[in-house]
A = this chain, B = another copy of it.
Amino acid sequence: MTVMDTTRTRTDTCGAPPQPHRLPDGQDRYTISEVVAVTGLSAHTLRWYERIGLMPHVDRSHTGQRRYSNRDLDWLDLVGKLRLTGMPVADMVRYAELVREGDHTFGARFDLLESTRRDVLHRIAELRDTLAVLDRKISFYADADRTRGGATAEED
């Protein structure tokens, strides 16, 4: 990505989460290919997100090309996180709509986030459970390896 290399500046905001690839606010006008590079999403997907209403309105250059801002990147970050909680895209679109509708939807957004949070907690618990099962099986196979031909009970 030649574009990336030429536009890069040393400004690493040493703030809370060490966000790399970020230009200071005011110069944050990333092309789609830059966003592809930082998010790992495809250009197709980015345009598709916009079509389905999953993005706040993305700015355009005078020639009509997309120019993403730091806020857009933050939003994509959130979307990415929500996506790997298993939240369906439709629900994220719903949240995006609430944001577009303005401040009077704060309550609804709060509720949505709260229920997502409960969901995530639940999933973490499930995964821990699975981990326990996995550990049991793993130690079974580790034992089986040492006690070659011993009286190993049935296990899969």
Binding site for B on A (CB under 8 A): 56, 71, 74-75, 78, 81-82, 84-85, 99, 106-107, 109-110, 113-114, 116-117, 120-121, 123-124, 126-131, 133-135, 137-138, 141-142, 144-145, 154, 156
Whether B134 contacts A113 by the Cβ 8 Å rule is yes
A127 with B75, Cβ < 8 A, contacts A134-B113, A134-B120 known? no
Q: Which of B74, B110, B124, B130 contacts A127 (CB 8 A)?
A: B124
Contacts of A120 in B (CB 8 A): 127, 130-131, 134
Closest to A96 in B: B156
- Jot down 5 A-B pairs with beta carbons below 8 A, ordered by A: A56-B156, A81-B129, A81-B133, A120-B131, A124-B131
Whether A71 contacts B154 by the Cβ 8 Å rule is yes
Contacts of A141 in B (CB 8 A): 106, 109-110, 113
Whether B110 contacts A134 by the Cβ 8 Å rule is no
Whether A130 contacts B81 by the Cβ 8 Å rule is yes
Q: In the complex, what's the smallest C-beta–C-beta distance from A147 to chain B, in angstroms? A: 11
Sample of 14 further A-B pairs with CB below 8 A, known A84-B126, A124-B124, A124-B127: A74-B156, A78-B133, A78-B156, A81-B129, A81-B130, A81-B134, A106-B141, A106-B145, A110-B138, A110-B142, A110-B145, A117-B134, A123-B127, A124-B131
Q: In the complex, what's the smallest C-beta–C-beta distance from A104 to chain B, in angstroms? A: 12
Q: In the complex, what's the smallest C-beta–C-beta distance from A11 to chain B, in angstroms? A: 20
Q: Which of B75, B117, B130 contacts A131 (CB 8 A)?
A: B117
